[in-house]
Structure 1
Amino acid sequence: MTDAATRALLPEGLHDTLAPRAELESATVAGLLSCFASQGYEQVAPPLVEFEDSLLAGVGAAEGRRMFRLMDPASHRMMGVRTDMTTQVARVATTRLAAAHRPLRLCYAGQVLRVESGKLRSEREFGQAGIELIGTASTGAEAEVLLLAAEALRAVGATDFTVDLTVPTLVPAVAAGLGLDAESTAAAREALDEKDMAGLSAFEGRAREVLETLLLAGGVADKALDALFRLDLPGEAAALVEELRAMVGTLREASPELILTIDPGEYRNFEYHSGICFTAFDRNTSRELGRGGRYQVQGAKGAEPAVGFTVYVDSLLRALPEPRRAASVFVPAGIARETAKQLRADGWRTVAGLDPVADDAAEARRLGCSHVYRDGGVEGV
């Protein structure tokens, strides 16, 4: 292997992003942030590396196994490279912005790095962009975050996606109502999350009937809600289903075109969430475009409710049309700089010739330009 080939090698899960995709990524992130800002979400930009204990506090407790660590030579304390930006935004909200009026609306964008790739993505470094609404636990807050996320996805070109709703606390509430012990509850959660009907065979009577119905109820929102209401669930579980029904009604009224599904048994990756959660899936690639929901942030004044949504930029880019190089004009050497400046003012991208050449059109094609400036005008090549 040549030295050049060796230098081009990157660690597994990392890659160079080249034109025109790198430009598309930048424009997509800018579009998301612009949409977030239009509804009052102010951008924050936490650092890539923090002290380990800060990144693992509160909602970041489960991130330790995915985190790269290094020793800070200045403080001699362990630092970590962020694996998710939600933890950082929660820290900013409960420290730097602890005295700010609630509800607090924040947005962010940046790269994250993980020790291992996941089942659904080979990348270990990828971009995130998202929003956090901190200080309220209302259904209206959840609806605002979900609807804004959907609006932002559409604004940057992702038009064919579904939103899957789940309530991670539903199965434990059902299990409590059925009188199941901790071991049985854990087994039920695992079987429902894995869509494993055989895993429910150990249950009997009413418990088995309810759990199997929960597993089969997943699908289009209206169908799933009908199945859940027919179960006549006990107390807390019934209240959660009613909350889910109200959420669906709010979303239908605000955005009738939104395609909603419900998965009553899903909880994995939503372990720290305390209310309705939602995941956006691209219908063509089946990739997760983003996810979010209600959770609690811990600060000096105690716990605060929050609702957030994170867009996975790498998955989003795969859902968008393949980018093309932008049209550009080759401006031969010797043409006045003011001419090129006017072309840019007219909306063109310009590529300047540095030395005279025999064939300007051929040089334009060699440099990847779509047009050439010649005889006082722009011509295609």
Structure 2
Amino acid sequence: MMDDAPLNPALLPAGFVDLLPPQAEAEADGIEALMAVFGTHGYERVRPPLMEFEAGLLSGSGAALAEQAFRLMDPDTRRMMAVRPDSTPQIARIASTRLADAPRPLRLSYAGPCVLVTGSGRESARQISQAGIELIGPDSPEADAEIVAVAAEALERLGTGRVSFDLTMPPLVPALLADQPLDDATRRALLHALDRKDAAAVAQHGGAMARVLTDLLHAAGPAPRALDALRAADLPPAARALSDRLMATVGAVLARVPGLRLTVDPVEFRGWHYHTGVCVTIYAVGGREELGRGGRYLSNNSEAACGVTLRPDILLRVASPRPERPRVFVPAGSDPARAQALRAEGYATVGGLEPVADNAAEARRLGCAHVWHADHLVALD
């Protein structure tokens, strides 16, 4: 039996990648640009750990993430730990414990990596980056609108171009079906049809709610059309209350950000299972990849909260390219004060460690577009 061939040191597990220059710096700069916008709106930064004890991380709202969490044993305590697949439950934990006595509304922001057992949707990445905000305490359309407005400003700062915010109310479909005499098989078939936007199957399995569900299914799209359908729909009281809240949130968002591209899908119910109210998914116009998502939930199962999580790794694929810092080769023996002055002017200086015969050739070899010559900067062809 032959021994296994040595493992290629460049080989990584599926879904994990090395981020190389200049992409790694671009992502870091992009995250800081997002965080700067969050900070100007009073969202204070926290940094939860990458791993926590399983019993804490995957309880409460975190229970919905259990299937996506890597687990390992802590060799010190012999207790099981989990790597976070999403940051929101950690922010909820911080708010309900270490910041339980902090004044409300509590505005927190965060950024960092998360690790998933499997990639989500069309995405194969299992290590992802997140940057987001959570608004904890108030339960109002104005709070929902603030989250959307801050996210829109952050995306504009990053230069993502035209984006669309898709608002949904995941509890609406369960409220419509709560009192319907549907057997389990029919209910599953109906939910599958709604998920696939299959109007014929919705009409077949929807029972007394078939007409309403079909009308709402066809209403998905630009906010005015969807809201007209919601106003006209014959909804039971619980569903009407949810519909009114969705409409109020749309109004509050447009009052804060007039002209924002806003769509509404009244019968969309996908998302993290911990969401309890209005949710938002962000797309680049003309694209199908999610730039971010968020919504309303109960922090630690008890306190009203809403938030949005952006994906910097995806955002930078659709954002305008950020200009790279120009690199200058500074030959060995040059005045350090001049190199410092160049850095203050926005250049990256690459210092020579020993004299070379051809400074220009060395500059090109090291990826520099300029070389410092005696007392002036020379641009290379």
Equivalent residues of 1:21, 1:323 under 8 A apart:
no
Give the aligned CA root-mean-square deviation in angstroms: 1.9
> For the residues of structure 2 that align with 1:264 and 1:191, how far apart are their CA atoms?
14
Amino acid at match of 2:316: L
1:19 to 18, 21, 25: 21
Give 1:271 shift: 2.3
1:277 to 279, 293, 296: 279
Give 1:129 shift: 0.7
**Shift in CA distance, 108/205, structure 1 to aligned 2, threshold 3 Å:** closer
Give 1:65 shift: 1.2
Matching of residue 354 in structure 1 with residue 353 in structure 2: yes
> For the residues of structure 2 that align with 1:193 and 1:204, how far apart are their CA atoms?
13
Paired position in structure 2 for 1:297: 299
Paired position in structure 2 for 1:228: 230
Secondary structure in 2 matching 1:309: strand
Give 1:100 shift: 1.3
Matching of residue 86 in structure 1 with residue 88 in structure 2: yes
> For the residues of structure 2 that align with 1:371 and 1:380, how far apart are their CA atoms?
4
Give 1:247 shift: 1.5
Give 1:257 shift: 2.5
Give 1:322 shift: 4.2
Structure 1: any 5+ residue segments left out of the alignment?
none
Equivalent residues of 1:329, 1:371 under 8 A apart:
yes
Give 1:324 shift: 5.5
> For the residues of structure 1 that align with 2:206 and 2:370, how far apart are their CA atoms?
73
2:35 to 33, 36, 45: 33
Q: After alignment, is 339-348 or 40-49 more displaced?
A: 339-348
Equivalent residues of 2:325, 2:347 under 8 A apart:
no
Give 1:144 shift: 0.8
Aligned length: 376
**1:12-66 CA distance string (max 9 Å, x none):** 0000001111001101111111111111111111111110011111111121111
Report matched runs for 1:228-267 at 5 Å: 228-267=230-269
> For the residues of structure 2 that align with 1:189 and 1:362, how far apart are their CA atoms?
65
Secondary structure in 2 matching 1:15: coil
Equivalent residues of 2:212, 2:234 under 8 A apart:
no
**Shift in CA distance, 221/270, structure 1 to aligned 2, threshold 3 Å:** farther
Report matched runs for 1:1-381 at 5 Å: 6-176=8-178, 179-181=180-182, 183=184, 184-203=186-205, 206-298=208-300, 303-322=302-321, 325-381=324-380
The share of aligned pairs that are identical, in percent, is: 47
Give 1:204 shift: 6.3
Equivalent residues of 2:146, 2:253 under 8 A apart:
no
> For the residues of structure 1 that align with 2:206 and 2:16, how far apart are their CA atoms?
48
Equivalent residues of 1:221, 1:261 under 8 A apart:
yes
Give 1:147 shift: 0.7
Amino acid at match of 2:222: V
> For the residues of structure 2 that align with 1:181 and 1:206, how far apart are their CA atoms?
10
Give 1:205 shift: 6.3
Q: After alignment, is 339-348 or 121-130 more displaced?
A: 339-348
Scaled by the length of structure 2, the TM-score of the pair is 0.93
Equivalent residues of 1:172, 1:185 under 8 A apart:
no
Give 1:218 shift: 0.7
> For the residues of structure 1 that align with 2:213 and 2:41, how far apart are their CA atoms?
40
> For the residues of structure 2 that align with 1:95 and 1:191, how far apart are their CA atoms?
41
Amino acid at match of 2:249: M
**1:132-152 CA distance string (max 9 Å, x none):** 111111111111111111111
**Shift in CA distance, 150/182, structure 1 to aligned 2, threshold 3 Å:** farther
> For the residues of structure 2 that align with 1:236 and 1:168, how far apart are their CA atoms?
13
Give 1:317 shift: 1.6
Equivalent residues of 2:160, 2:319 under 8 A apart:
yes
> For the residues of structure 1 that align with 2:299 and 2:342, how far apart are their CA atoms?
51
Amino acid at match of 1:312: R
Structure 2: any 5+ residue segments left out of the alignment?
none
**1:219-249 CA distance string (max 9 Å, x none):** 1111111122222323222222222222222
Equivalent residues of 1:102, 1:134 under 8 A apart:
yes
Equivalent residues of 1:168, 1:270 under 8 A apart:
no
Scaled by the length of structure 1, the TM-score of the pair is 0.93
> For the residues of structure 2 that align with 1:255 and 1:81, how far apart are their CA atoms?
37
**Shift in CA distance, 204/272, structure 1 to aligned 2, threshold 3 Å:** closer
Secondary structure in 2 matching 1:202: helix
Amino acid at match of 1:373: W
Equivalent residues of 2:69, 2:83 under 8 A apart:
yes
Amino acid at match of 2:106: L
**Shift in CA distance, 365/376, structure 1 to aligned 2, threshold 3 Å:** same
Give 1:186 shift: 4.6
> For the residues of structure 2 that align with 1:327 and 1:285, how far apart are their CA atoms?
32
